[in-house]
Amino acid sequence: MFLLSGNSQAVLIDTGATADPAYFPLRRTVDSLISEWLAENPRDGYRLTVVHTHGHGDHVAGDAQFDDRPDTTVVGKSLTDVVAFYGLPEWPDGAATLDLGGRVVDVLPGPGHHKAAVVFYDRYTGLLFTGDTVYRGRLYVEDWQAFRTTISRLVDFAASRPVSHVLGCHIEMTTTPGRDHMIGSTHQPHEPPPQLTVEHLRALNDMLTEVGDSPGAPPFGEIGTYPHDDFVIWRM
Please list the residues that pair with 104 across neighbouring strands: 99
Nearer to Zn ion, 86 or 135 (CB): 135
Residue 27 parent element (H or E): helix 26-40
Burial 175-190 (b: 16+ CB within 10 A, else e): eeeeebbeeeeeeeee
Choose one: 25-33, 38-46, 50-58, 153-161; the region binding Zn ion (CB under 5 A).
50-58
Number of residues that bind Zn ion (CB under 5 A): 2
What's the Cα-to-Cα distance from 60 to each of 26, 67, 114, 129, rounded to whole Å?
11, 12, 13, 16
Choose one: 2-10, 56-64, 71-79, 227-235; the region binding Zn ion (CB under 5 A).
56-64
* Closest separation in Å from C-beta 57 to Zn ion: 8
Nearer to Zn ion, 10 or 61 (CB): 61
Position among 56, 103, 138, 181 found at the interface with Zn ion (CB under 5 A): 56
Nearer to Zn ion, 6 or 137 (CB): 137
* Closest separation in Å from C-beta 134 to Zn ion: 12
Q: Using CA atoms, how far apart are residues 38 and 8, in angstroms rounded to an integer?
A: 11
* Closest separation in Å from C-beta 71 to Zn ion: 29
Binding residues for Zn ion restricted to 120-139, rule: CB under 5 A: 132
Nearer to Zn ion, 56 or 235 (CB): 56
First CA to last CA distance, the chain: 25
Choose one: 21-29, 55-63, 103-111, 197-205; the region binding Zn ion (CB under 5 A).
55-63
* Closest separation in Å from C-beta 211 to Zn ion: 21
DSSP 41-53: S--SS-EEEEE-S
Nearer to Zn ion, 41 or 78 (CB): 78
Are 153 and 92 in contact by the 8 Å Cβ rule? The answer is no
**Helix extents (H) in 63-197:** 79-86, 144-159
Other CB atoms within 10 A of residue 193 CB: 9
* Closest separation in Å from C-beta 110 to Zn ion: 11
Q: Using CA atoms, how far apart are residues 73 and 9, in angstroms rounded to an integer?
A: 11
Nearer to Zn ion, 117 or 208 (CB): 117
* Closest separation in Å from C-beta 24 to Zn ion: 18
Site for Zn ion, rule CB under 5 A: 56, 132
